[in-house]
Chains A and B, each alone.
Chain A
Amino acid sequence: MLYSKDRIGGVLLLLFCIAYGLLSRNIKLLPFQMDVAFNARTMPEVLTVLGIGLSLAVIVFPGSAARPELGGYRWGQCALFLGLMSVYGLTIRPLGFIVSTSLFLMIGFALLGERRPHILLLVAVPLVVVFWVLMTQGLDVFIEPLPAFLKNGGS
């Protein structure tokens, strides 16, 4: 009951609300802006009070006593995917859409258990190319397909 899901969530959100409240003090107002009944700080301040109050309500009066069960979950794999997504974000420009996305998909498929290299290539690459053609030709959304060093024939 002490470490119930509701309470842990409540504590996490309480910390978020406190951080939000502290950051709201950094909102810079000019003197004349401070005098109005509702300035840029009003809503954040009200929300901070509401958020802290509700977080405390969840912590003190949890709706359920269910405790989090960490066993049976693939936390490592989930973390790897989060890393993969982040790296994809960093590489989409320098490597270009087709290379970075094909790599993202192939690594993703491999992480989830597909080990055959030809299947990885045959599923990911054609799909990415077709998607790129569809977006650029069909919807006029252009995205650089190739790595930066190959742009304009490498010049």
Chain B
Amino acid sequence: MLEGIAIGLSTALTPGNLLFVMMGCLVGTFVGMLPGLGPMSAIALMIPIAASLDPSAGIILMAAVYYGAIFGGSTSSILINAPGVASTVATSFDGYPLAKQGKAGKALAIAAYSSFSGGVIAALFLLVAAPFLANVSLAFQSTDYFALMVLGLVAVAAFAGKGDMAKALLMTVVGLMLSTVGTDQTQGVPRFTLGMIDLVDGISFLLLVMATFALSEALMAILKPKDDADRLKEKDASQNLGSMAVSMAEAKDMAPVIGRSSILGFLIGVLPGAGATIASFLAYGTEQRLAGKEKGAKFGKGSVRGLSAPETANNAAATGSFVPLLTLGIPGSGTTAIMLGALIGYGIQPGPRLYIDQPAVFWSVIVSMWIGNIVLLILNLPLIPYIARLLAIPSRFLLPLILFFSLIGVYFVSFNTFDIQLMVIFAVAAVVLRFLDFPMAPMILGFILGGMMEENLRRALLINDDSWSFLWERPLTLSILLIAAVCLVLPFATTYIGRLKNRVFGDSPSAD
């Protein structure tokens, strides 16, 4: 492990890579701060640049953008009560009330210290867990990978909100369908190309991500622009931050919260599909319960604990989500799904072999997480008063620029104008589906995992003489598939039991 850390340090600490960490954190903070644009859009916008770098530098850049975007999301949550991403919604519960009390600077500092601690502690866990899991997963076969991918896809849908599971599963299937466009890899047969030569190689994942996230976000903002009161609020909040000092008593109050939320966040992040949003809400709820009556009552009114818990947990979960990506090659979240796509673009197959075949990439990602968190704390925090002013850039300039960067990002990779037209088509579909409250992240995950899933299933069938019996004869495969089945059935079962309870005890005052 020490050798690995040394490899990671020597790779991540080169002047060029350090520059990419700093640049990534800054750009990520800026993009994440813009309401509506989250880490997925931020990373998607960075892919064209990352593609021109070597794999280590590219992944370091994207990881830095990831943290930066989460940090930036917290900033807009605190300052203007407009979370850039779902994972920072819980941050606004206590961050915004603090800002309203004239303590925006303090709230930002608490968020930064908590994020830093959560990220650093989780990176320590990752350091231990990733090589261990990678060694264990060396025993995995194609059949197990297929089962794991099924689990990953089902888990994402299972963690969707109440009543949204069918929609999330449907979007996953749509993603899987899109992944089948192009030439079939094994039999060399064109599928769904509609006779167009431009579709023979399939749909580029970058194109799909840019169209469904960055482009559709900007188009949604064009569809429903903010009113003048909101704009005034943003301008005002970005100019009056107050002191950034955190008192000793507040630090003491935060310390145990950070410890607990880091562990919770990391564990939730490791689970495929759960991610930073669930981690932040769980940490918030847990701390509220643990805080006792007096301190618990302050939650939602500007509690230091209430701000620290979700901030720590969402950063720890972001780090945790790298565990399945780096060790199994299965993304734990939409964001890591994009990173998986980028790694595949480099010709690197994440999974247990990554640890052995590409130690520089594996370890530099882990080490860069520490560096990224340090950069966020010592560079971004003091710069926040200036970065926050970017919130005041008029949307009439910002939105066309986002559209331009999205389009040109894809065009610069393929130099094919057909891609721009295809992006417009996907953007229209994405805007319509978002307007109808259909989630996009499961679709991206389905798209990324689709090709790999089909390939692993085919390989498994080839090894097993075209027999499907491996699904129930190999204990590991069967166990993973059973877990997937439980993930699938459990939300429906709990909803059904809940309804049944309501029907039986519905009108009774002593029901609970």
Contacts and interface: CB of A to CB of B under 8 A. Distances in A.
A132 to B, nearest CB: 10
Most buried by B among A17, A39, A108: A108
B401 A105 contact: yes
A51 interface: yes
B472 interface: no
A13 interface: yes
Contacts of B435: 5, 68
A33 to B, nearest CB: 5
Given A85-B407, A90-B417, A43 B180 contact: yes
Main secondary structure of the interface of B (DSSP, over half): helix
A82 B394 CA distance: 21
Interface string B379-421: 0000000000000001111011101100110011001010011
Nearest to B438: A9
A10 B438 CA distance: 9
B170 A55 contact: yes
Contacts of B162: 63
Nearest to A91: B417
A148 to B, nearest CB: 13
Contact of B186 (A16, A40, A88): A40
Interface string B38-61: 000000000001001000000000
Main secondary structure of the interface of A (DSSP, over half): helix
A92 B186 contact: no
Most buried by B among A54, A90, A141: A54
Most buried by A among B52, B170, B403: B170
Contacts of A1: none
Contacts of A85: 215, 403, 407, 420, 423-424, 427
Contacts of B190: 27-28
A16 B417 contact: no
Interface in B174-200: 174, 176-177, 180, 184, 186-187, 189-192, 194
B428 A39 contact: no
Contacts of B408: 101
B378 interface: no
Interface string A15-52: 01100100110011100010011111001100100110
Interface of A: 5-6, 8-10, 12-13, 16-17, 20, 23-24, 27-29, 33, 36-40, 43-44, 47, 50-51, 54-55, 57-58, 61-64, 66, 68, 72-75, 77-78, 81-82, 85-86, 88-90, 92-93, 101, 104-105, 108-109, 111-114, 123, 127, 135, 139-141, 143
30 contacts: A5-B435, A6-B167, A23-B194, A27-B190, A36-B466, A37-B467, A38-B461, A39-B187, A40-B184, A43-B180, A57-B166, A58-B167, A63-B165, A68-B435, A74-B222, A74-B223, A77-B222, A77-B223, A78-B222, A81-B219, A82-B219, A85-B420, A86-B421, A89-B420, A92-B417, A112-B222, A112-B395, A123-B397, A135-B412, A139-B52
A-B interface, 3 closest residue pairs, ranked by CB to CB distance from nearest: A63-B163, A108-B400, A89-B420
Interface of B: 49, 52, 162-167, 169-170, 173-174, 176-177, 180, 184, 186-187, 189-192, 194, 215, 219, 222-225, 394-397, 399-401, 403-404, 407-408, 411-412, 415, 417, 420-421, 423-424, 427-428, 431-433, 435-438, 450, 454, 457-458, 461, 466-468
